[in-house]
C-alpha cells in the first residue's frame, strides 16, 4: 500500500503541475522557453542581462500580458482560460 500511496502522490503532483502550466499565458510561456534557450550556456553578463530585460519588456507590452494584469485586478479569468 505504501508504494501505491507514493504513486498516487506523484500522479497528484504531476496533475497539479499540469494544471499550473495549463493556466499560464501561452505566449508568455513560449517567450520564457525562448529566453531560456537563448541564454542557456551563456555567461550572465551585461549583454545577457540587457537582452533578458528587453525580452521581458516586450512580453509585458503584449495584449496577452495586459489582459492578464487586467483580469487579475478585475478578479476574472484571462481570455486564454475562457
pLDDT tens digits, one per residue of 19-56: 988 889 999 999 999 999 999 999 999 999 999 999 99
Query: How far is residue 25's CA from residue 70's CA, in Å, rounded to a whole number?
Result: 13
Query: How far is residue 7's CA from residue 79's CA, in Å, rounded to a whole number?
Result: 35
pTM of the model: 0.75
Q: Is the pLDDT of residue 69 over 80?
A: yes
Amino acid at each position: 500500500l505504501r508504494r501505491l500511496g507514493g504513486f498516487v502522490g506523484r500522479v497528484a503532483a504531476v496533475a497539479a503541475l499540469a494544471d499550473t502550466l495549463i493556466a499560464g499565458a501561452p505566449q508568455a510561456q513560449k517567450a520564457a522557453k525562448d529566453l531560456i534557450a537563448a541564454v542557456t550556456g551563456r555567461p550572465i553578463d551585461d549583454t545577457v542581462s540587457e537582452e533578458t530585460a528587453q525580452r521581458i519588456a516586450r512580453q509585458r507590452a503584449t495584449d496577452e500580458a495586459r489582459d492578464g494584469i487586467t483580469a487579475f485586478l478585475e478578479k476574472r479569468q484571462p481570455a486564454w482560460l475562457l
